Amino acid sequence: MNGAHTQPAIGGNAGMSSEYLEIRGLRVTFDGFTAVDGVDLTLFQGDLRFLIGPNGAGKTTLVDAVTGLVPATGSVTKSGAELLGRKVHQIARLGVGRTFQTASVFEELTVLQNLDIAAGSGRSPLTMLRRRKTVLPQIEEALETIGLAHLRDRPAGILAHGQKQWLEIGMLLVQDADVLLLDEPVAGMSHDEREETGNLLRRIGAERTVVVVEHDMDFMRAFATSVTVLARGKVIADGSVEEIQADPMVQQVYLGTAAAVDVLEEH
């Protein structure tokens, strides 16, 4: 970690800005098995919220439910608009975007074309067929933000693993997503790529709400402004990194062994 990092502000701008995503009593059931069990979560603009928990805790299912991929009960509102019951593309249009554990970019298309398609997701098929002659300002901006401006005309297939994840994040930015749910964005990344990704999340997170599902505790400690711990579909703790690390319930449930305490407290 270099010295340029500012200390994460606990809770981001919580309380200072409008509420962005409010999850109440969220429940997802698969054939009688409850994967997400009555989750309440409030996320604010400026919050870089990490969602952690053991394997099978329900983290990805929660993201799937918010983004319309699995049916759920309860309520998820974004700035007052109910998301549950809407289709995936409608939720995306309301500004809620997500990435998957495996980056899903069009490998044969250039970086620019990938961003152009994402930016055009709200356009009609006819206008999509017409190629844009100029690069849209929001695409220029996204290229700079994700650090891929120099690779704009290269096929996405040649990008390094980390760069593909950044391109996916760029695709959410050009779609105007202001709530971003990222599923294990640094899995498989090198140390330097993690550092770059963390800085990218800080840059984009200042004006947005970013939720990061992650297993990497070092990454969480370095970049989280707040943390929610899920276990067996329920929220067992919510707070700053320090509060989460000191929580005996988290130490016990999260990994369940004495070694787990070392993992959580390691610096």
Ligand X SMILES: Nc1ncnc2c1ncn2[C@@H]1O[C@H](COP(=O)(O)OP(=O)(O)OP(=O)(O)O)[C@@H](O)[C@H]1O
Q: Which residues bind ligand X (CB under 6 A)?
A: 30, 35, 53, 55-61
Residue closer to ligand X, measured from CB, 2 or 55: 55
Least distance in angstroms from the C-beta of 121 to ligand X: 25
* Other Cβ atoms within 10 Å of 205 Cβ, number: 23
Question: Which residue stretches of 5-78 are H helix?
Answer: 59-66
Pull the structure tokens for residue 94. Answer: 């309301």
Residue closer to ligand X, measured from CB, 183 or 247: 183
| Cβ contact 167:146 at 8 Å | yes
Pull the structure tokens for residue 239. Answer: 């707070």
| Cβ contact 27:60 at 8 Å | no
Residue closer to ligand X, measured from CB, 7 or 55: 55
Least distance in angstroms from the C-beta of 158 to ligand X: 28
Using a 10 angstrom Cβ sphere, with 0-12 exposed, 13-18 middle and 19 or more buried, the burial of residue 52 is buried
* Other Cβ atoms within 10 Å of 61 Cβ, number: 22
Task: Using the structure block, give the residue that is written with the tokens 């319309």.
Answer: 68
Q: What's the length of the chain?
A: 267
Residue closer to ligand X, measured from CB, 57 or 105: 57
Least distance in angstroms from the C-beta of 222 to ligand X: 20
Least distance in angstroms from the C-beta of 228 to ligand X: 12
Least distance in angstroms from the C-beta of 180 to ligand X: 17
Residue closer to ligand X, measured from CB, 14 or 76: 76
H/E run at residue 179 = strand 179-183
